[in-house]
Amino acid sequence: MIDREHAPTIPVPSSSVAVRGASAAPVTTRDAIAREEAWGAHNYHPLDLVIAEARGAWVTDVEGRRYLDCLSAYSAVNQGHCHPRLLQTLVDQASRVTLTSRAFRNDQLGGFCEELAQLCGMEMVLPMNTGAEAVETAIKAARRWGYRTRQIPDGEAQIIAFEHNFHGRTTTIVGFSSEPAYREQFGPFAPGFVLLPFGDIEAVRRAMTANTCAVLIEPIQCEAGVLLPPAGFLRALSALCAERGVLLMADEIQTGLGRTGALFACDHDDVVPDLYILGKALSGGFYPVSAVVARREVLGVFDPGSHGSTFGGNPLGCAVAREALRVLRDERLIERSATEGAWLLEQLRTLRHPAIAAVRGRGLMCAIELTVAARPFCEALQKRGVLCKETHGTVIRLSPPLVVERRDLEWAVAQLRAVFHDAVGT
């Protein structure tokens, strides 16, 4: 076994990693897991470690063990854990004002909307908190746009989505999921969605009707196992939507803001959608911030009282998000994702094991598809100091923070080789 002590080092605060509560007593892994299992709803199946501190691409558990984070909170910490600039911005803003609600204006919202709209090449921004809220916002915008602009009969608008999608977990969204586990006993579900095979442009062409107002797509299906669409599909889809007068809505919550080696995954196909759905890395993991970004014609359908959120567009979230976008630019994290991601994908494709069915990815979003359960491999990697997570049962997903160093990636690849070597014949 390769000892974690030989892993690349980063500065770690000298303070205790014990979780501090009312008693200030150190918390052990066993205690923390027992409490979570006893008092928390069991809607996740996490790996059994308890993280207490994190810096950059590395995290430390309550026992003092260090791990390379190769999941990045599903792209929420593209800028790395506890980025000092984001931390300082959070502290500075929190000392002034954190929440006004949208009943009053604040001095951060306008700048956030302007900067994000310009970054996206759009005209208007509607901020929310979570990714699922942003998707719900996009659905509402598309339907109202369809009724007002396309003159679709009220209550009959349809939105096309794709099999194996993951757009969130609200009842509306899981209603057009093809994953049984997301839907079981949560119905009845909202109508108005047509589910089609991912990557089948002819199926989209046949499904479009006079009542189709929008197509909702992840440019790369992340939760499904980092599934890339067939070459040319996104461009053909964009052209078809333009031809039929249908909105193309790109859910870039996980793929956007540098994760795939471009600002947006759509950029790889030179596609500009009518509407971007953003979240996660928009605030660098410090605060829930999401947004829908679109042309004025689309987001202009909202009027006072038609949509909102007490926390959406709050000054604390906006200030952090503005700085998170600057960090992406100033530290050239998008370019780093392209360079380091290409190297990592090349290395992953040299791995050999009879259970490896495919290796795919783009930028620092990679996946190893297996013919067997991926969970045991993720657990073996955890023991060696590499944190990743299985998705859809048989896929190991690897997406470290964009600040990850090449030496960290080299070390992680060595752990992968060792795990696959040890697993031969098992």
Q: Is 394:359 a contact under the CB 8 Å cutoff?
A: no
Instruction: Give me the phi and psi of 343, to 5 degrees please.
Output: -65, -45
- Look up 166 and say whether it is catalytic: yes
Using left for φ > 0, alpha for ψ between -120 and 50, and beta otherwise, residue 46 falls in: beta
Count other Cβ atoms within 10 Å, centred on residue 50: 20
* Distance between CA atoms of residues 264 and 279, nearest Å: 12
> Which of 112, 162, 166, 420 is flagged as catalytic?
166
Letter string b/e over residues 327-348, b meaning 16 or more CB atoms within 10 A of that residue's CB: bbeebebbebbbebbeebbebb
| Residue with token string 């002819």 | 202
Letter string b/e over residues 263-282, b meaning 16 or more CB atoms within 10 A of that residue's CB: bbbbbbbebebbbbbbbbbb
* Distance between CA atoms of residues 229 and 406, nearest Å: 28
Strand runs labelled E in 107-200: 124-128, 158-162, 193-196
- Look up 267 and say whether it is catalytic: no
> Which of 112, 269, 280, 389 is flagged as catalytic?
280
- Look up 193 and say whether it is catalytic: no
Exposure on the CB side of residue 196, measured as CA atoms within 13 A:
20
- Report helix angle 333-348 to 406-423, nearest 10: 20
Count other Cβ atoms within 10 Å, centred on residue 369: 19
8-state DSSP, 82? T
Structure token digits, residue 56: 């950059």
Q: Is 249:274 a contact under the CB 8 Å cutoff?
A: yes
Using left for φ > 0, alpha for ψ between -120 and 50, and beta otherwise, residue 12 falls in: beta
> Which of 162, 233, 251, 269 is flagged as catalytic?
251
* Distance between CA atoms of residues 334 and 358, nearest Å: 25
* Distance between CA atoms of residues 217 and 195, nearest Å: 11
Which residue numbers are catalytic?
166, 251, 280
